[in-house]
Structure 1
Amino acid sequence: INHAAAALNTILGRWGKKASPEWNISGELCSGFAADKTDWDNYRDINPFIKCDCTFNNNTLCHITRLRVTYLDVVGQIPAELQNLTHLVDLNLFRNYLTGPIPSFIGKFTSMQYLSLSFNPLSGLLPKELGNLTNLLSLGISSDNFTGSLPEELGNLTKLQQLYFDSSGFSGPFPSSFSKLQNLKFLSASDNVFKGKIPAYLGTMTNLEDIAFHGNSFEGPVPESLSNLTKLTRLWIGDIINGVSPLAFISNMASLSTLILRNCKISSDLGAVEFSMFKQLKLLDLSFNNITGEVPQSILNLGNLNSLFLGNNSLTGKLPDGISSSLKVIDFSYNQLTGSIPSWARQNNLQLNLVANNFLLDTTSESTLPWGINCLQQDTPCFRGSPEYYSFAVDCGSNASIRGSDDTIYEADPTNLGAATYYVTGQTRWGVSSVGNAIDAKNIIYSSQPFQNVVDSELFETARMSSSSLRYYGLGLENGNYTVLL
């Protein structure tokens, strides 16, 4: 243990950190909190922290088995001294500023069960030696700066239950060796540069409960073998670049609470799936596809559904007469829907985007829905034959209008837009439509400090963002060619 204490001293010293007072690495290392039987998750306020196992050699020898250094802004590389802690089963270096590659000696930790290196600017190729950690249950290497493809050796980690490598710069096709990871429950591969097809062997990994594959360059179609994954509670696939995908493959996934198939080149009738079976569904996003048919009443009746995104499809017909009380966010924008807008659309606590359809709007609809919906229909009656403007300017997200150096008035844009909302100015000069759930913010307006030595710098201090779709509309404009500046 003295050898391990010296290594730990050096590691923390290189990172500019000191041991917590609850354990003294210059004295008896494995004592107090470090050696008791309490789960180390109960000591989250102690950081850095270690746990020891003192059952070696008939309870006469202790080894450091767990090391946690998280959220401490540690700067530097993974030190070579770490390899002296050969009995580690849990290494958590989450959310620091560790740089450089993962060293190849990582393969020496053959007892390792949990490894978290996520949210660090680690770089380089992922070492194939990770494939030696055959006892690993959870591997987190998300939000790093790696390059290259995933090594085939990761397929040796057959005990893995959780695998996270989203937003880490990986490219190439998905490794064929991953077909051996039959114990996986959570697989997150989003926001990388993967190409090729989503592997059909995923359909054999029937323990999967959570899949995230969006934000890559996968080719279609989405494999129908995914229909075997009946334990899924979350499925998120998006941004398929070609091919035509069906929708019926989700029919057996009755345990889903989140289903996002945005921009997947799906071409199916919405009625091809019996949605009444999705009793647990809370979020359904099928936007940016080529889904046809009418909106079935069974979707709007789902008792747990909170958010429904069906925008940018080819839906037709009238909207159903009623909705579940659980529904708070609905997007039907950019379809071919017709008929009158139903009375439930006027609920005060409902976010509803009906932009770019062909609804028949009566006086009641126009007075009870947010102002200007008639001007944002595909066949708009507004300014028909009598345009009034030849320009408009907006300072996106700003609280006040600003006069630019060229005397252009940039109008304020302070409206709090939600997950399925639109807004038209009182003068019907311009409008904006926003769609998409924001994970970490409700009012997605970005603010920055003033820029130095920039003309009209105040115009760049705010910006409006959207997680799915953000569109601005100039209304009543004269016909002709326009210059657009962003």
Structure 2
Amino acid sequence: MGRRRQALHGAALSLLLLAAAAHAQQTDPGDAAALNAVFAKLGQKALSSWNISGDPCTGAATDNTNIDNNPPFNPAIKCECSGGNASVCRVTRLKIYALDAVGPIPEELRNLTALTNLDLSQNYLTGPLPSFIGELTRMQYMSFGINALSGPLPKELGNLTDLVSLSVSSNNFSGSLPSELGNLAKLEQLYIDSAGFSGPLPSSLSKLTKMKTLWASDNDFTGQIPDYIGSWNLTDLRFQGNSFQGPLPATLSNLVQLTNLRIGDILNGSSSSLAFISNMTSLNSLVLRNCRISDTLLSVNFSKFTSLNLLDLSFNNITGQVPQTLLNLNSLGFLFLGNNSLSGSLPSSVGPMLKNLDFSYNQLTGNVPSWGNSQLNLVANNFGADISSNSGLPTGLDCLQRNTPCFFGSPKSSSFAVDCGSDRPISGSDNSLYQPDAATLGAASYYVTGEPTWGASNVGRFMDASNGSSIIYSSHQFLNTLDTELFRNARMSPSSLRYYGIGLENGNYTVTLQFAEFAFPDAQSWKSRGRRVFDIYAQVSVRSRTLT
């Protein structure tokens, strides 16, 4: 009996010691004060799961709870404790993600000097990215993506020499990238797309030889894409929507580990060939859209690209025929070759995965093979007038060829009105009857109304996000119009959406386009941080009604 009491007494003593140790483990007072101030200024509240009894570094902040992709733990922190029974805990991770935190970055953030991971993305932070960020020299992963930050990127970022990943995408920054970014020798991921930067890329970035991922699309970078990009260890490179000049650097051919390459909109300069991609056989997605490429498809042995799922070479000057080897790729699902100078007839078969093919605005001729359930856009080529009846394609394509007259000498209408995305006709205040436009338009598709009086074609794929539909709906009431019902639905297109008037009388026409924005709300929210950038053109056909 005495031994039993002694054992129980020992157990009680152990529990007491554990409790005492837990009580002695406390958050560094400076970190606690800084964290409280940051939360107060950004309108956030600490969660009880990691703020037990008012001490931040407790509970989920110090156990093995994973805070990544874990919505219940947001905002969240992680701490590291040291010092034995009287351990002091420092805040090493801070996440305030997609909570619409509003305001400038709090000054007190500079006091969290033990931070290695900071995620303030998808909020509505305003003002500059402060230079004191450069004082957080233990930082390894840092994201301010999708906010409303402005001003130049601070050169003090160059002090964060342990950085592995940096994201400042989708903000309102200005000016060029600071040359000090070249000091970040450990950097593997850099996300600067849609951030507002301009000017040439600094030569100092040549030192970032560990770089694996660079997203730099939708800025105003100028000059040529630097040769040093070819010396990096890239697997994902995105350079669309800038102001680069050609030619594409030959050193890109060294990037044989790339799985994703997207370059677009080379505005001027010399043309390029396709030779540099010959050894990039690990590619899953290849986009070289509007890159001033002058070449033939036969210059690359596409049979080696056994993982290629998407190929977009549209808006270039690619000539010659479409090779059968390209269409036979077992992995290829999306092929966009529109707006080139391809000629001849199409091959007789396609691979099992190839369901979306765009050959619009070329010089193709001959018969159209039957390719089963594939979506095929052949608008503005030189196929015969009986193209639809012989190919199993949607009717009306004969009205959408370059040199095939439709209703020649017998015009059918002098006007038409369309409510894009609508599923029913709507009478407008201008006395026009707006026809519905609810047809499913995929990544390479077209349709023509049954009369026919008009048609539409769509090209492009939503690469990173899609709800599976090309039509979206809004319940928002637009007060500054007499025709709010016209703005209930909208048709989305990731690349090119064209409407055609068919059988119109010769004469002068007034084209009226009405727009309303309802995808991006007018609010202090990260959801408002999109940009609507697009071109509109109206093209008039000649008297014989040929498409040019």
TM-score of Structure 1 vs Structure 2, range by shorter chain: over 0.9
Paired residue type of 2:340: N
Aligned to 2:24: none
> In the aligned structure 1, how far is the partner of 2:84 from the partner of 2:199?
47
Alignment pair present for 1:261 and 2:263: no
Q: Is the 8 A contact 2:388 2:394 kept in 1?
A: no
Aligned to 1:310: 337
> In the aligned structure 1, how far is the partner of 2:429 from the partner of 2:91?
65
**Cα 1:149/1:285, change in 2 over 3 Å:** same
Aligned to 2:376: 352
Aligned to 1:219: 245
Alignment pair present for 1:445 and 2:471: yes
Alignment pair present for 1:231 and 2:236: no
> In the aligned structure 1, how far is the partner of 2:187 from the partner of 2:472?
39
Candidates 257, 263, 268, aligned match of 1:242: 268
Candidates 227, 242, 247, aligned match of 1:200: 227
Q: TM-score, normalised by structure 1?
A: 0.95
**1:119-138 to 2 correspondences below 5 Å:** 119-138=146-165
Alignment pair present for 1:484 and 2:508: no
Alignment pair present for 1:52 and 2:79: yes
Aligned to 1:189: 216
How far off its partner does 1:325 sit? 0.8
Candidates 466, 471, 474, aligned match of 2:498: 471
How far off its partner does 1:94 sit? 1.3
How far off its partner does 1:317 sit? 0.8
> In the aligned structure 2, how far is the partner of 1:87 from the partner of 1:14?
20
How far off its partner does 1:333 sit? 0.8
Paired residue type of 1:430: W
Candidates 434, 439, 451, aligned match of 1:427: 451
Paired residue type of 2:438: P
Q: What SS is found at the alignment partner of 2:108?
A: helix
**Cα 1:49/1:364, change in 2 over 3 Å:** closer
Q: TM-score, normalised by structure 2?
A: 0.84
**1:340-419 to 2 correspondences below 5 Å:** 340-344=367-371, 347-348=372-373, 350-360=374-384, 362=386, 365-366=389-390, 368-419=392-443
The alignment-based identity, stated in percent, is: 61
Alignment pair present for 1:100 and 2:124: no
Aligned to 1:336: 363
Candidates 16, 28, 40, aligned match of 1:13: 40
Please list the CA deviations of residues 215-237 of structure 1 after superposition, one character each: whole Å capped at 9, or x if unmatched: 11111111111001001000000
Please list the CA deviations of residues 292-347 of structure 1 after superposition, one character each: whole Å capped at 9, or x if unmatched: 01101111111111111011110011111111111111111111111111122xx2
> In the aligned structure 1, how far is the partner of 2:392 from the partner of 2:70?
54
Aligned to 1:300: 327
Q: What SS is found at the alignment partner of 1:412?
A: strand
Q: What SS is found at the alignment partner of 1:291?
A: strand
**CA RMSD across the alignment:** 1.9
How far off its partner does 1:58 sit? 11
> In the aligned structure 2, how far is the partner of 1:26 from the partner of 1:80?
26
Q: Is the 8 A contact 2:145 2:170 kept in 1?
A: yes
How far off its partner does 1:195 sit? 1.4
Please list the CA deviations of residues 401-458 of structure 1 after superposition, one character each: whole Å capped at 9, or x if unmatched: 2223342222211112111110100001111111111232433334443322523343
Please list the CA deviations of residues 44-103 of structure 1 after superposition, one character each: whole Å capped at 9, or x if unmatched: 521111111124689943211111111111111111111111010001111111111111
Q: Which has the larger radius of gyration?
A: 2
How far off its partner does 1:25 sit? 6.7
**1:19-30 to 2 correspondences below 5 Å:** 19-24=46-51, 27-30=54-57
**1:57-68 to 2 correspondences below 5 Å:** 60-68=87-95
> In the aligned structure 1, how far is the partner of 2:274 from the partner of 2:428?
50
**Cα 1:478/1:361, change in 2 over 3 Å:** closer
How far off its partner does 1:43 sit? 4.9
**Cα 1:458/1:30, change in 2 over 3 Å:** closer
> In the aligned structure 1, how far is the partner of 2:176 from the partner of 2:459?
33
Q: What SS is found at the alignment partner of 2:245?
A: coil
> In the aligned structure 1, how far is the partner of 2:50 from the partner of 2:370?
65
Q: What SS is found at the alignment partner of 2:103?
A: strand
Please list the CA deviations of residues 193-232 of structure 1 after superposition, one character each: whole Å capped at 9, or x if unmatched: 1111111111111x10000100111111111110010010
How far off its partner does 1:459 sit? 3.1
User: How many aligned residue pairs are there?
Assistant: 482
Q: Is the 8 A contact 2:471 2:490 kept in 1?
A: yes
Q: Is the 8 A contact 2:414 2:505 kept in 1?
A: yes
How far off its partner does 1:362 sit? 4.2
Relative CO higher for 1 or 2, CA cutoff 8 Å, sep ≥ 6? 2
**Cα 1:424/1:366, change in 2 over 3 Å:** farther
